[in-house]
């Protein structure tokens, strides 16, 4: 038998898989299988959770508010950051959704989520519909799981009703710590910083993480008594007084050892690589709890892969999200 032919095939496969990865990415080949296992386990969790009601999102289920916004790319951006959406100082219409990660009662500590869909975007996305660029962010700079395997183990623990035991296992103490410190009583979803936690390309040579920081001239106060819907009340009060402003920022990866692509639980130091503003997100005064706004929020299917190639999601954690978000949003919307 000629042994050089299979060797050549292997070399070619390894060449093309390496050629397709971005520096710092390290796929192991089980990611599609992980995504299918996650889909299965999350469907079981949401079916248990929403047995007698209409299906909501697995994560970030409570919509706190959905708004029309403007995403305006800054004029003064250094040339190496002028990539994709940030190439020209254009104003785009956007839809933004603020949510609570796992609770329905605002009086309980929680993480908040921010989903942004920019419209009228020119260029073919890596996945999804033309014309849109999505950004998904959380109110804590790191995720509680480093890898998709850790995330899957957590979902399966949720499904089997053994989350506490899972988190009390010594190997999961780091996750427990992050989940404890990430949950907070926030004054308002308009007052907090949001982070992408996972990395994205910026052009073809650089990796970045995103952050969104408030720049409004008003800040809410924490009420003495925290009620079920105090966060919506704070947003309503803010918008009755003035517009809401956020800076959309990028943080460049300087090296993969201190700022790894493949560890969603690792914080990229803002001293080593500061956040730089590339755009402004402006939410003008508007009513926001209309039935139409809520319906639009609930049916929109955000996905980090709804993205221009210049902002392609990086790493294994982001890889599995493409399938999981697609499958779960279809599942949820077909059941509504
Ligand atoms: C493997 C890791 C992850 C999995 C399996 C996962 C899973 C999910 C699922 C199933 C949904 C609901 C999708 C829908 O029904 O439309 C969701 C929503 C969301 N996730 Fe993740 N997630 C992961 C990582 C992350 C990370 C790293 C972030 C960081 C910012 C994040 C932020 C969000 C946000 C903001 C939403 C709400 C999206 C919306 O408004 O529709 N997730 N996630």
Q: Which residues of 224-241 are buried (b: 16+ CB within 10 A; e: fewer)?
A: eeeeeebbbebbbebbee
Q: What is the C-alpha to C-alpha distance for residues 85 and 118, in angstroms, rounded to an integer? A: 9
Report the atom number in ligand 1 closest to the C-alpha of 143. Answer: 27
Q: How far is the CA of 93 from the centre of ligand 1 (A)?
A: 23
pLDDT in tens, the chain (336 residues): 444 555 454 444 444 444 479 999 999 999 999 999 999 999 999 999 998 888 899 999 999 999 999 999 999 999 999 999 999 999 999 999 999 999 999 999 999 999 999 999 999 999 999 999 999 999 999 999 999 999 999 999 999 999 999 999 999 999 999 999 999 999 999 999 999 999 999 999 999 999 999 999 999 999 999 999 999 999 999 999 999 999 999 999 999 999 999 999 999 999 999 999 999 999 999 887 778 888 888 899 999 999 999 999 999 999 999 999 999 999 999 864
Judge contact between 307 and 134, C-beta under 8 A: yes
Q: In the CATH hierarchy, which top-level class contains the domain 25-335?
A: mainly beta
Residue nearest to atom 18 of ligand 1 (CA): 59
Q: Is the CB of 55 under 6 A from ligand 1?
A: no
Q: Give the span between the Cα atoms of 298 and 186, in whole angstroms.
A: 23
State the DSSP string of 22-82.
PTT----S-HHHHHHHHHHHHHHHHHHHTTTS----SSS-EEEEEEEEEEEE-S---GGG-
Neighbours of 147 (CB within 10 A): 19
Long-range contacts of 286-292 (CB under 8 A, 24+ apart): 286/67, 286/68, 286/239, 288/65, 288/66, 288/67, 288/235, 288/236, 288/239, 289/65, 289/232, 289/236
CB of 123 closer than 8 Å to CB of 308: yes
Distance 198 CA to ligand 1 centre (A): 11
Q: Does 59 contact ligand 1 (Cβ within 6 A)?
A: yes
Q: Is 136 in the pocket of ligand 1 (CB under 6 A)?
A: yes
- Ligand 1 centroid to residue 116 C-alpha, Å: 13
**Rounded to an integer, what distance in angstroms lies between the CA atom of residue 94 and that of residue 286?**
14
**Domain-wise residue ranges, the chain:** 25-335
List the residue whose alpha carbon is closest to atom 3 of ligand 1: 321
Query: Which residue's alpha carbon is nearest to atom 17 within ligand 1?
Result: 59
């Amino acid at each position: 038998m000629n042994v050089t032919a299979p060797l050549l095939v292997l070399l070619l496969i390894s060449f093309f898989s390496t050629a397709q990865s971005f520096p710092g990415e390290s796929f192991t080949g089980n990611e599609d299988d992980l995504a299918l296992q996650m889909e299965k386990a999350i469907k079981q969790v949401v079916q248990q959770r929403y047995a007698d009601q209409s299906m909501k999102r697995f994560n970030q289920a409570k919509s706190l508010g959905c708004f029309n916004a403007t995403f305006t790319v800054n004029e003064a951006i250094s040339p190496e950051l002028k990539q994709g959406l940030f190439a020209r100082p254009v104003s785009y219409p956007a839809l933004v959704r603020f949510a609570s990660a796992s609770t329905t009662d605002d009086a309980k500590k929680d993480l908040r989520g921010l989903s942004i869909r920019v419209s009228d975007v020119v260029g073919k996305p890596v996945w999804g519909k033309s014309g849109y660029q999505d950004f998904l962010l959380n109110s804590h700079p790191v995720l509680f799981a480093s890898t998709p395997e850790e995330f899957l183990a957590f979902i399966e623990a949720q499904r089997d009703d053994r989350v506490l035991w899972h988190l009390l296992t010594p190997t999961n103490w780091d996750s427990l710590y992050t989940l404890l410190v990430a949950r907070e009583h926030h004054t308002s979803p308009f007052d907090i910083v949001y982070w992408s936690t996972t990395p994205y390309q910026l052009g073809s040579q650089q990796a970045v993480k995103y952050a969104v920081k408030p720049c409004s001239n008003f800040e809410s106060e924490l009420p003495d008594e925290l009620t079920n819907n105090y966060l919506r009340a704070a947003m309503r009060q803010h918008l009755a007084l003035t517009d809401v402003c956020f800076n959309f920022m990028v943080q460049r990866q300087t090296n993969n050892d201190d700022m790894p692509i493949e560890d969603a639980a690792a914080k990229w130091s803002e001293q080593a690589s500061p956040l730089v503003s590339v755009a402004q997100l402006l939410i003008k005064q508007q009513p926001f709890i209309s039935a139409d706004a809520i319906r639009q929020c609930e049916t929109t299917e955000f996905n980090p892969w709804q993205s221009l190639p210049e902002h392609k999601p990086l790493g294994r954690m982001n890889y599995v999200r493409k399938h999981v978000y697609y499958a779960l949003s279809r599942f949820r919307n077909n059941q509504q």
